[in-house]
Structure 1
Amino acid sequence: MAVINLEAEQAVIGGVLLEGELIKECSLLPEHFYKQEHIVIWEAARALDKAKKPVDLVTIVTELGERIEQAGGLKYIQDLAVGVPTTTNFEYYVTAVLDAWKMRKAETQAVELINRVNAERNTDVIAETVQKLTHLDETGQQMDYNHTATLSEVYDEMENQPEGLTGIDTGYVDLNRITNGLNSSDLLIVAARPAMGKTAFVLNVGGNAAGLDKACVSIFSLEMPKKQLIRRMICAIGNIDADKMRNPKSRFSNEDWEKATRAIGIINNMNLHIYDEPGQTVQGIRAKVRRLKNKYPDVPHLVIIDYLQLISYIGRAHNRNEEVAEMSRALKIMAREFELPVVALSQLSRSVEQRQDKRPMLSDLRDSGAVEQDADIIMFLYRDDYYDAQAEKKNVTEVIVGKNRHGATGTVELAFLKEYNKFVSLARG
């Protein structure tokens, strides 16, 4: 009886319908699929990719044309697209499809062996078949993992490591001392209660990364429109009162216009990409990041998401905690896969407000303990004068590094110039 894994085949095709760029790294051929409809769909997807056209539900249906019934019909293809909640496990399903194909081929060759031995009475047939089976087992596999080679690579990296930060410069000296910059493959969570300046902080970090390290910075804004973010960046870079920005035509001085013009020029020269479409999903974010990595392969990349709990979830989680857990895990996988830092803003639970000391703790992360587990670095923003008007330190934000998988934790103080939406380092050297 033939070995068939239709669920894996459906998951692979559904994954490509969700995120067409996946087909570029997929080694599967049409013959690896069992179901005839899937073979037809995969042929269409590969034809589109070969022609350097986008691969998605619409383009595949168009490519199929009159062959759409051979592919199961429009509804079947649509069902494949909506039946896969995430592409996180795409490689697992690719392997499952390949394994099922190998088993089918092995069964066929075993039957052929028996028939040929009976007919030819020649043991050379056995050796020939064993060679075929060995080649079959190696299909789609990568070389064995060699830890000796890896140790050599690590040593070379240690020896040739340039002085300074290992990651992208945040623009804040004291914060860099703790985190060593924003490092590849890390998921960083920035969490705070409302009005602490979370968005302003990551916009400042993103601007610093694009300016100081010439990084490609992609910002996925699920709360604020692009124009509002740009206005904030103009204020921060140009030291312009944000209140004036609400009506610049009547409130800007000549100096303000000059500052704004300089700031716009600086932003225009940044490798900055802002996506503010409503209802963004992890799958959509991954697709955009993949395109940017392919377009700018030789520069550092930084991804900023504002914010985690607003990402639209596609799946079958039983509750909100499970949804957020799956999304944070998907972001961590994305950081590792593309070898870039992902900074995601997160909400804190209201329990913070009930304590006398309102400095956030890891247990205050809202909706999921999995966020704490997945994150490499967790930073909290806290401002004492927000809660106490008589506080000794005015306009000073504490950046509390509550978790650091790679090293020490600690607190960094930054001046928060609220009128400019700007954070400034207080480091003395």
Structure 2
Amino acid sequence: MAVESTVRKQIADATALFRSAPHNIEVEQALLGAILINNDAFYRVSDFLQPEHFFERIHQMVYEIMGSLVRSGKSATPITLKTFLPADQEIAPGLNASQYLARLAAEATTIINASDYGRIIYDLHTRRSLITIGEEIVNAAYDSPVDMPPQEQIEEAERRLYEVAETGRYEGGFQRFAQALTSAVEVAAKAYQRDGKLSGISTGLHDLDRMMGGLQRSDLIVLAGRPGMGKTALATNIAYNVAKAYRAADPTPDGRIETANGGIVGFFSLEMSAEQLATRIIAEQTSIPSYRIRRGEIEPSDFDRIAEAAREMEIVPLYIDETGGLSIAALAARARRLKRQRGLDLIVVDYIQLLSGSGRKAAEGRVQEVTEITTNLKALAKELAVPIIALSQLSRQVESRDDKRPQLSDLRESGSIEQDADVVIFVFREEYYVKNKEPRLGTEEHFKWQAEMEAVHGKAEVIIGKQRHGPTGTVQLQFEAEVTRFADLASDSHLPDRM
């Protein structure tokens, strides 16, 4: 039996050596022929099929040239294509470019099969990519490099697999300016169709949207403030507003579901539990203070409101990861997994200082570790093409100034936070500081303090300290501390007349 097993293994190994990568030349030829006969076939596959998905190099060239001609409004035929291919070079046994193109057109099948053929080519390319990744994973596991422990190998494998799943979006390299122009026009078109006519995702706060144009894809947005200012409350409000507004668009030709409005949100809560976040959102939606909900100090009518709000919130695509002490690599792996399994349009991280970097950077000091974290957050935002809101603590030097409004220099532990961020937002509530300076009751100073409190009560400032795509400045918001809710602040011109 042992001999038989050994022989079987040797035969299997020998067979593996002669296995060729999955491909189907006939299907590639049939699709190219169908496009040559009827250029409309190109639009049935162009949304998901790229030149590099073809196995044969000549087929990659032909498909790329076809695409350029069809998109520019010209006809893609054997005659127009042969100008762009080597004239006398033999590209198939006994055939030059003109002869090969003529044979493709002569043996073409119906346009009806174009989509099916395109998906077969796409699937075969995916299988080839999986084989390549599998071989690299096996080799890395055998070599077991000292500087790459098994957990890092798993995270790297997951990243590579995600890239395969999103083929055509993160392949790197140069792209023609025409492609960038097309993408820019598509962004403008989607902004026109989206609620609020925004180029990014609406935060649900109109004055903030007006300054930022919404949350832009691939942006790292740092939301910073001192304790008690309401950083988590603002992030939670925005996350829930985005998820509540979610509306899916019609499926694309390759089966992907895109977002028409709002978005699917992944919330990494490294400080608070999922239950605490849920309680905050319930308080915000029902206007019942969260401390009353936690203590059970609610009336029957309050419970009915909570139950009704919970029913509405059940369908909201907001996903919470409450794991503490996450590494930036683990966070990235979980975000990729969420995007593949559920979809993802916005990531919130609460907060940067609770993340950890790699062991190497941690050994070099906290500044280097935070630099690695912010650099990787920005890279993740670009990779997944989603905005990331990352909360950050501010240094104590704010407290030593008379004007306690935060500045970029107050960002804690690393200048890389300011450098890597596309947008830096500070939350400031003067009420917090004025309230703590209450003088003795009945004194003249107390009357002055009351007037000052009335002027700042329920108001918050969102200070945009840096923005790559727009202006800096301050947005005034209303803040209801008991229910941790931010809202647009009504201007005096919109208030009812006083009696």
TM over 0.5: same fold? yes
Q: Deviations along 1:128-153, whole A, 9 cap, x unmatched?
A: xxxxxxxxxxxxx9886222333344
Whether 1:243 and 2:305 are equivalent positions in the alignment is no
The equivalent of 1:168 in structure 2 is 201
Q: What amino acid is the match of 1:184?
A: R
Whole-angstrom distance in 1 between the partners of 2:299 and 2:134? 69
How many residues were matched structurally? 320
The equivalent of 2:353 in structure 1 is 309
8 Å contact kept, 1:415–1:423:
yes
8 Å contact kept, 2:188–2:199:
no
Shift of 1:331: 0.5
8 Å contact kept, 2:427–2:462:
yes
Whole-angstrom distance in 1 between the partners of 2:231 and 2:365? 26
Whole-angstrom distance in 2 between the partners of 1:393 and 1:31? 61
Change (3 A) 1:340 1:152: closer
Whole-angstrom distance in 1 between the partners of 2:399 and 2:188? 45
| Superposition TM-score, scaled by structure 2 size | 0.59
| Superposition TM-score, scaled by structure 1 size | 0.68
Shift of 1:266: 2.2
Whether 1:198 and 2:231 are equivalent positions in the alignment is yes
Whole-angstrom distance in 2 between the partners of 1:83 and 1:272? 28
Most deviating of 260-269 and 224-233? 260-269
Q: What amino acid is the match of 2:392?
A: S
The equivalent of 1:226 in structure 2 is 274
Q: Deviations along 1:323-374, whole A, 9 cap, x unmatched?
A: 1111011001000100001001000000000101000000000011101011
8 Å contact kept, 2:393–2:411:
yes
Q: What amino acid is the match of 1:426?
A: L
> Which residue among 61, 81, 88 is the counterpart of 2:150?
81
Whole-angstrom distance in 2 between the partners of 1:345 and 1:290? 20
Change (3 A) 1:41 1:83: closer
Q: How much identity, in percent, do the aligned residues show?
A: 35
Whether 1:268 and 2:314 are equivalent positions in the alignment is yes
User: Using CA pairs below 8 Å that are at least 6 residues apart, which structure has the higher relative contact order?
Assistant: 1
> Which residue among 117, 132, 135 is the counterpart of 1:29?
132
8 Å contact kept, 1:239–1:259:
no
Q: What amino acid is the match of 1:365?
A: L
Whether 1:280 and 2:326 are equivalent positions in the alignment is yes
8 Å contact kept, 1:85–1:315:
no
Shift of 1:296: 3.5
Q: What amino acid is the match of 1:149?
A: Q
The equivalent of 1:209 in structure 2 is 242
SS in 1 for 2:470: coil
Change (3 A) 1:280 1:24: farther
SS in 1 for 2:456: coil
Whether 1:188 and 2:232 are equivalent positions in the alignment is no
Whether 1:400 and 2:433 are equivalent positions in the alignment is no
Superposed counterparts of 1:13-24, under 5 Å? none
Structure exhibiting the larger radius of gyration computed from Cα positions: 2
Whole-angstrom distance in 1 between the partners of 2:341 and 2:334? 11
8 Å contact kept, 1:178–1:407:
yes
Q: RMSD of the alignment, in Å?
A: 3.1
Shift of 1:278: 1.9
Whole-angstrom distance in 2 between the partners of 1:311 and 1:223? 10
The equivalent of 2:60 in structure 1 is none
The equivalent of 1:50 in structure 2 is none
Whole-angstrom distance in 1 between the partners of 2:422 and 2:278? 29
The equivalent of 1:112 in structure 2 is none
Change (3 A) 1:159 1:289: closer
Change (3 A) 1:40 1:409: closer
SS in 2 for 1:304: strand
Give unmatched runs, 5+ long, in structure 2.
1-125, 164-170, 247-261, 436-448, 495-499
Change (3 A) 1:159 1:270: closer
Superposed counterparts of 1:351-362, under 5 Å? 351-362=397-408
Shift of 1:197: 1.1
SS in 2 for 1:29: helix
